[in-house]
Structure 1
Amino acid sequence: MQNKALKNLKKLLPPFPGIQGKEEYINAAVLALLMSVNDEYHFLLQKRSPAISQGGEICFPGGKFDPRKDTSLRHTALRETHEELGIPAEKISILGQLDTLVVPLGKTIDTFVGTTDFAFTDLTPSFSEVDHAFTIPISFFQEHPPKVYSVLVKNHPSYINDKNETVNLLPVKELGLPAHYQKPWGSFRQRVFVYETNEGIIWGLTARILHDICVKLFPDSVN
């Protein structure tokens, strides 16, 4: 490689490194929205409609990036919040953004943190997606740290489909790779945070986001 080629490579390297292969993932955005209730900030959360995927689970408003509608992931978070809860974008002030969450199951989550003076009583949930909305004070999460569990994430070179047929994703033998790669490999343990609330269990990605925010707010009292 000549010096000229190296100079060209230097110009092509990103000034702000992102996530390699992000286009291969499902890219989604959520809004961790804070609302003042009785002079205390609360997180605005919602329980998903039982008729949709992950029905009955608690989450922040948000959804998949739609290139036909969205100019950015920030736009996705604001659009989905309006569609799901009826809060217009002009009633939301974005404070900033958390680090992008890369989920081993093939999804990235960009979380935006914001505040709103929109009244809770003026919410108009879309009941095709949202069973109901509710708020929980930030202090609850400071005083009630999550339980922490884990799941084991492995790489599977093949799987059995619904016809009981083996589908080879990675032709280990044909490529001459070591034989042990014919079986699932890896031993990555992903932490799973769980909060127990009066509204039900908050876990998974939503709990991880809540924990991340609380660690930033209360570094001395939250693990």
Structure 2
Amino acid sequence: MNLEEIKQKLSTPQKKNYVRDAAVLLPLVSIKDELHILFQVRALTLHAQPGETCFPGGRIDRDDQDSQAAALREFHEEFGIKQEKVTILSSLNKIESPRRGLIHPFVAYIDSLDEIKPNTAEVEDWFTVPVTVLLSTPPEIGYVDVIIKPGKDFPIDRIANAVAYQDKRYSTPESFYVYKEHIIWGLTARILQEFLEHIKS
């Protein structure tokens, strides 16, 4: 293979392979002339993260045209609101999740919640939070300890500076937004935080 062949291959767009990627909506809705953000509480019967607060969304299917289409489809499946009632405003930065691939977030405006019919197989509850409340209330910060522990197939004896990868521990901050009885954290808080930073600036 020569340099020209490499240049040609690099200039050819690769077909997107989402594998485990997911797409979510950060839905804005106007309630009594005030903008709110819609959140959902995951059904208690789900195997993954039951009862936790999140944005509507889910895995990107092969049949989805792209990540935005997946976010709209998932929103409709979870809340029953027709896609024509949803306007995509912008995408946000993708977030890499070690267990779930890339998360593709989109900010959207929902015309109304009048037609909301949550899918009880996926949604335990839902609630909205005024944007002004989130802007004026900084999140609480907690720390998670992360331990680096090489797996059995990791060639620890063959790499330089091996001691740096043996049972090392470090702390990483997590943001927690608290609203009434609800707590918003994890990837949802990271997406929310980016959105709030955007509109603050």
Regarding TM over 0.5, the answer is yes
Could you tell me how far apart the structure 2 residues matched to 1:182 and 1:134 are?
Answer: 43
Indicate the residue corresponding to 2:163 in structure 1.
180
Q: Which residue of 1 aligns with 2:135?
A: 142
Offset, 1:186: 7.0
> Identity, % of aligned pairs?
36
- Describe the shift of the 1:9–1:65 C-alpha distance in structure 2 as closer, same or farther (beyond 3 A): same
Q: What 5-or-longer segments of structure 1 have no aligned partner?
A: 159-167
Partner of 2:56: 61
1:157 CA drift (Å): 1.9
Identify the residue that residue 23 of structure 2 maps to in structure 1.
29
Per the alignment, residue 9 of structure 1 pairs with 6
In the aligned structure 2, how far is the partner of 1:182 from the partner of 1:40?
A: 50
Separation in 2, partners of 1:184, 1:203: 27
Distance 1:130 1:144 in 2: 26
Matched, 1:213 2:190: no
Could you tell me whether the CA contact under 8 Å between 1:157 and 1:181 is conserved in 2?
Answer: no
Structure 1 residues 1-223: aligned runs within 5 Å: 5-13=2-10, 26-52=20-46, 53-67=48-62, 69-118=63-112, 120-158=113-151, 168-173=152-157, 176-178=158-160, 179-180=162-163, 183-185=166-168, 187=170, 189-219=171-201
CA RMSD of aligned residues (A): 2.6
- Alignment partners' CA distance in 2, 1:184 and 1:23: 34
Query: Any unmatched runs of 5+ in structure 2?
Result: none
1:201 partner SS: strand
Query: How much has 1:185 moved relative to structure 2?
Result: 4.6
